[in-house]
Amino acid sequence: MLASWYAGVYSSVIKSENLSNLISQSLTCQTRSVKNSDIFVAFITDQGMASKLLSSLCSSETINRQYGEVTVQWSHNEQEIIQYVGKGIADLALVKENVMLAFAAETTYRYQTVAQYKDYSTYLISLKEKPELTKQYLWGKRLGLLDYPSSRSGHIVPKGMLNDLGISESSMEIIYVNSHEALRDLLAAGKVDIISSFWKDKDEQRFSANYRTPIKTKVSGSKWYLKMETQNTDLICEIQSILQTLAMQTQSDYYSQLQLNSNDCNLSSLSHDVQLDEK
């Protein structure tokens, strides 16, 4: 079912690429190995981290030895997820675990988890009352959701809840936006009655923790996957080091928390509490 659902020196210049008639956004740089035709492709869902990731990859000695070019691709589009992850094009990918399971990509393309973010909870959040998970309460409500189906807390989990309760989308006014922050702005402005999202500490500056109701309390965090067609241990350790450094330097709650998977690299993982900002 998941597979069917998903199937429904720097140049640093943003460009459009045509891949199977899909328009994608990417950043690209050349390494010092100018005669090397191998391209290291990273696929993520967040444009904001693309340039930092590109810079780190292109300054890596390991990447410079092994590849002639680096491309960082970003998109929320399910068709592009299929292209880059489902078909094994990406060497490094930040995606949800259910994507890998849907396409059996770990087995087919030998993707290996190198790092991940913590599990989290999905809530219905209201401005003036505690939401109820009942058909009677939700009927006719204005609900704010994310407009990309790959988001679990902003799309998948609440849609599943509505289905379980026997509530059709036509019986509610569903307003779609493109970020969790936009959901919060809708709620604060009174343009929706409830939103579906995660909860972070700074939300208490705008909303009451008493007016949130958990829909699902254990949603797995996104994971970094590295394609390992050979026993390239230098690459694993280098990628983990890069991701750890980015996590330590970022100001984002989402990327500041990183758990490295155990290996022989002797890198210590980070252990700060966090709420994911792109769940």
Q: Which string of DSSP letters, residue by residue, matches 12-56?
A: ---EEEEETTEEEEEEEEE-S-TT---EEEEEES-GGGHHHHHHH
> What domains appear along the chain, each with residue ranges and CATH number?
2-118+221-260 (3.40.190), 120-219 (3.40.190.10)
Assign 28 a pLDDT band (cuts: 50, 70, 90): very high
Rg (CA), the chain: 20
pTM to 2 decimals?
A: 0.72
Nearest one of 72, 38, 34 to 55, comparing CA atoms:
72
* 22-31, 99-108, 183-192: which is most confident: 183-192
pLDDT at 253: 66
pLDDT at 6: 43
pLDDT at 252: 63
Q: Tens of pLDDT along 38-85?
A: 999 999 988 778 999 999 999 999 999 999 999 999 987 778 888 899
Q: Tens of pLDDT along 125-143?
A: 999 999 999 999 999 999 9
Residue type at position 190: G
pLDDT above 80 (res 105): yes
pLDDT above 80 (res 13): no
- Answer for the pair 54, 63: CB distance below 8 angstroms, yes or no: no
Q: Tens of pLDDT along 208-256?
A: 999 999 999 888 888 999 999 888 999 999 999 999 999 998 776 667 7
In angstroms, the CA 74 to CA 52 distance is 13
pLDDT at 9: 34
In angstroms, the CA 184 to CA 192 distance is 10
